[in-house]
Amino acid sequence: MLLLVASAIKTDDFDLLSRPNESLNMNRRKLLIAGSASIIILGTAGGLALHSNLKPARSPWSDANLSLEDPRLAALSFAILAPNPHNRQPWLVELRDDLGLTLYCDQARLLPETDPMNRQIVIGLGAFLELLEIAAGENGYRLQMDLFPEGEPELVLDERPVAHILFIKDETAIKDSLFVHVQERRTNRLLFDIERSVSLSHLNELASAIKGVDDHLGFTNSTEKVGQIKNLCRGGWETEVHTKRTHAESTRLTRIGEKEINANPDGISLSGPLFEGLKLAGIMNKEAMDDPASRMFQETLNFYNGLIETSMAFAWLVSPGNSRKHQIGVGRNWVRVHLAATRVGLAFHPLSQVLQEFPEMLEHYTQLHELLNIEGPSRVQGIFRLGFAKNTSPSPRWPLETRLINI
């Protein structure tokens, strides 16, 4: 008999015990709930093998290829690996005849409740453009980029293009040392090692990855300040979860188990034997996740608070303004900092709730800016918990061909 005790958890991409050699043989009728804090799954040998095979959803990570004949497709195969909010992958690309392309934002992939001004979505598009440029450089191409060529959308995004981009052959194009980390980069939502502190030299490495003069990276590893930021992040998280419409937005985008994730490789994915089992037993479903009185709801809340508790350092990315071009620049620096963290072996996890623009969050947003001493028009665009942790699996991605408008 196998016994697994685990907490049910939820955020953007969880893969609990999904490696085949850790798979459980489960018997549906022997899946029980017990105790108030844990979910216990009892299984018998000879039952149903319950691991998640996410090979299709993860294949874009291994398919990224600089040798593709069209240099735009080669660079795009890396750009789609960019970090982006709720893994919405809002990029849509139109290839043009002149070795150019136009980037659009897919209007069906916005997050109207948690990201009402589409700021985080634009940051994701900025990260995409940075990876596009880094990968193009590796192939000897320089990019000429015209951002928001038909004007910057103000309150919310619209159908206008985000960027026109031209690929120009140039043997002096910059080869960026961060390129080799693009396929290894992961958002890490595990508990961090509380015995291992993060050194200032590591944090300085992250800050030195910032390009340009606009943005800067603040950071701290002081126990007192880390504690204060943890409290604010916890407040932000609890506010998001207790605000019905913002929590429901996340629930709606949750994919549970291999079948749902491979069919829709985006959003918040919950995989591995635990979630396959809970789904099979009918315990894990969107209704339960939305219901504040349910165990699922409470477990979710507690789990993320547990993650925040193990933060060993924080870094925060600040821009001097909040125009669409600032947000694109932030996205470019966001992924650079994340790649630098990957290079030095630091686990990196954004905690964005406290920065979100819905009215219930304003108090936490203001307190964070006061604590970090950031005055308008400057603002914090991203805050990241840092530490050391085991590595995690790559998050799902839609294949490149599904993101091209005109093939």
Ligand X SMILES: Cc1cc2nc3c(=O)[nH]c(=O)nc-3n(C[C@H](O)[C@H](O)[C@H](O)COP(=O)(O)O)c2cc1C
* Number of CB atoms found within 10 A of residue 245's CB: 11
Residue 350 near ligand X by CB under 6 A: yes
β-pair partners for 219: 315
The answer to whether residues 121 and 249 touch, using CB atoms and an 8 Å cutoff, is no
Q: How many residues bind ligand X, per CB under 6 A?
A: 22
Which residue number, 4 or 162, has a Cβ lying nearer to ligand X? 162
Region of 9-17, 63-71, 205-213, 287-295 interacting with ligand X (CB under 6 A): 9-17
Residue 317 near ligand X by CB under 6 A: no
Which residue number, 186 or 247, has a Cβ lying nearer to ligand X? 186
Residue 246 near ligand X by CB under 6 A: no
Rg for the chain, CA atoms, rounded: 21
Which residue number, 143 or 339, has a Cβ lying nearer to ligand X? 339
Which residue number, 109 or 186, has a Cβ lying nearer to ligand X? 186
Q: Please state the separation of Cα 323 from the chain's center in Å.
A: 22
> Residues 75, 301, 351, 368: which binds ligand X (CB under 6 A)?
351
The answer to whether residues 276 and 27 touch, using CB atoms and an 8 Å cutoff, is no
The answer to whether residues 355 and 391 touch, using CB atoms and an 8 Å cutoff, is no
Neighbouring residues of 15: CB distance < 8 A, sequence distance ≥ 6: 52, 54, 269, 271, 272, 392, 393
Dihedral sign computed on CA atoms, order 169, 172, 173, 179 = positive
> Residues 51, 109, 186, 326: which binds ligand X (CB under 6 A)?
186
Per-residue contact track with ligand X, 318 to 347, x per CB under 6 A? ----------------x-------------
> Residues 246, 300, 327, 395: which binds ligand X (CB under 6 A)?
395
Residue 123 near ligand X by CB under 6 A: yes
Look at residue 33 and give its three-state secondary structure: strand
Residue 13 near ligand X by CB under 6 A: yes
Region of 30-38, 82-90, 255-263, 319-327 interacting with ligand X (CB under 6 A): 82-90
The answer to whether residues 6 and 274 touch, using CB atoms and an 8 Å cutoff, is yes
Q: How far is the CB of 230 from ligand X (least distance, A)?
A: 14
Residue position matching structure tokens 């016994």: 3
Look at residue 91 and give its three-state secondary structure: strand
The answer to whether residues 46 and 30 touch, using CB atoms and an 8 Å cutoff, is no
- Residue 218's region, left for phi above 0, alpha for psi from -120 to 50, else beta, is beta
> Residues 52, 77, 87, 102: which binds ligand X (CB under 6 A)?
87
> Residues 18, 102, 187, 250: which binds ligand X (CB under 6 A)?
187
Which residue number, 277 or 350, has a Cβ lying nearer to ligand X? 350
State both tokens at 183. Answer: 């396929």
* Residues found near ligand X in the complex (CB under 6 A): 11-13, 83-87, 120, 123-124, 127, 186-187, 189, 334, 349-353, 395
